[in-house]
Amino acid sequence: MSLTISLVDYVHRLLAEGAAEIIVINDGSKEDLTYIFTELSVIEHCTVLTHDINKGKGRALKTAFEYFLKTYQHLKGVVTADADGQHAVDDVCIIARALENNENDITLGVRDFSEADVPFRSLLGNRITSFFFQFLYGSKLKDTQTGLRGIPTIELPRILELKGERYEYEINMLIYANKKNIPFNEISIQTLYFDNNASSHYHSVFDSIKIFTKLLSGFLRYFYSTILSGVIDISSFILLNNVLLVGLPLEVRIFFAIFVSRVLSSSSNFYMNRTFVFSSQNKLTHSIFKYYLLCIGIMLASYVLVASATIYMGMNVILAKICIVLLLGSISHQIQLYWVFKNDNNTKRQVIGEHNER
C-alpha cells in the first residue's frame, strides 16, 4: 500500500461522493500499517476484510466479491479500485455512474499510455496484452490491465468462479466477458503513477507468464480442436478403408473413405470451434455456410501453395505441407474469429464513453 495519499481520506471522499458501501481488503499488509485499517474499520459504511498473509490481487477481489454477494446483493454492481492512489475519486464515481446507467456492461476505466510519466513496464505490458487479446479474442481494448472496473451484480457469481489468485484473474474476467458476449464500456480516466509504480506487487516475470498463459488458452483450445479433428479424420479413414468398405473396388473405397472421414472430422471441428473455442451465439445455418466456404478456400489455397513450393521452389513436399498447414491454420483462426463465428452484436464492444474533464 502506498502512503502517498491517505487511504482513510480516500474512503471518506468516496462516501461523501455518494458511495453506498465500501469494502477494503487488507491483503497481508505489514504490522506497521495496522493502524490504517483500524481507523477504516470504525467508519460507517466501510468494511475491512483481512488476509493474514498476502494472497494476491485475484484472491483479494474474490474475498470482496464473496462478501458483497452475501451482504449487498441488492445493489446493481461493484466498482473495483486500487488502494495505492492510482484511481482518482472523481474517476471512481464516473465508473460507478456509468455502471448504473449500463448495468449489463463491464465498465473499464482506461488510461492514456501515451503520457510521458507512464512507467515503461506498464506501457509495454499493456501494449502486449492488448495486442494478444485482440488477436486471440477479437475485441480491441485500450487498457487490459486496468484495476478500475464496474462489474454488474448479475455477473459476479460466475466471475467469482473464474480461476486466478493474482493479476491473471483480471485478464480472466475480460476473457469471460468476451466469450459471453458481455459488452465492454471503456471510459477514459486520469493516468496516475507514483514513484514509478514502485508500490505495485506485480511481479514482472512470474505474473507476466501467468497472464500470457491465460491469454493463450483460447488459441490452445483451437489447437486441441484441430488435433482432435485430425485424429477423427485419420481413424475414421482407416476404419472405413480397412474394415467397413473392404468389399468395394479400391478407387471407390478410397473416395468414400476420404469423403465420410472428412465429413465426420469437419463436423466435429465445427462443433468444437463454435461451442468451446469461439463461443458463437449466431444462427447455426449462417455459421455452417461460412465454415464450409472457408474449408473449400483453405483446401484450394493449400493445394496451390504446396504445389508451388514443391514444383517451383524445389521444397520437400512433406516440409512444404507442414509449413503451409501452420500458415493456413493461423489464417483460418483469424477468419473464424472475425467472420465465421463472429457474434452479431460484437459491435457493442467499443468505446461508448469518454471522460475528458480534468
Q: What is the mean pLDDT of each run of 10 residues along the chain (358 residues)?
A: 68 94 92 90 95 92 97 95 88 95 93 78 83 89 93 96 90 92 92 58 62 81 89 87 84 83 90 89 90 91 88 86 86 92 58 44
Backbone angles phi, psi at 110, to 5 degrees: -105, 140
Same domain membership, residue 210 and residue 114: yes
Collapse the DSSP code of 109 into the 3-class scheme (helix H, G, I; strand E, B; otherwise coil) and give the result.
strand
Can you tell me the distance from the alpha carbon of 176 to that of 280, in angstroms, rounded to the nearest whole number?
13
- Is 154 inside a domain boundary? yes
Same domain membership, residue 76 and residue 212: yes
pLDDT number for residue 206: 60
**What would the grid cell of residue 121 be?**
513496464
Quote the domain boundaries for residue 112: 7-216
pLDDT number for residue 321: 83
Domain total of the chain: 2
Same domain membership, residue 260 and residue 200: no
Same domain membership, residue 237 and residue 96: no
pLDDT number for residue 205: 58
Can you tell me the distance from the alpha carbon of 72 to that of 70, in angstroms, rounded to the nearest whole number?
6
Q: Which of 201, 216, 231 is the last residue of a domain?
A: 216
Q: What is the CATH number of the domain that holds 95?
A: 3.90.550.10
Same domain membership, residue 177 and residue 51: yes
What pTM was computed for the model? 0.79
Same domain membership, residue 242 and residue 158: no
Sequence-distant (6+) residues with CB within 8 A of 38 are: none
- Is 2 inside a domain boundary? no
Same domain membership, residue 206 and residue 106: yes
- Is 301 inside a domain boundary? yes
Same domain membership, residue 168 and residue 135: yes
Q: Which of 187, 216, 245 is the last residue of a domain?
A: 216
β-strand pairing of 46-51 with 22-27:
parallel
Same domain membership, residue 163 and residue 40: yes
Q: What share of the chain is helix, strand, coil (3-state, %, to 5)?
A: 60, 10, 30
pLDDT number for residue 44: 95
Same domain membership, residue 179 and residue 33: yes
Can you tell me the distance from the alpha carbon of 296 to that of 200, in angstroms, rounded to the nearest whole number?
51
pLDDT number for residue 2: 45
Same domain membership, residue 117 and residue 107: yes
- Is 284 inside a domain boundary? yes
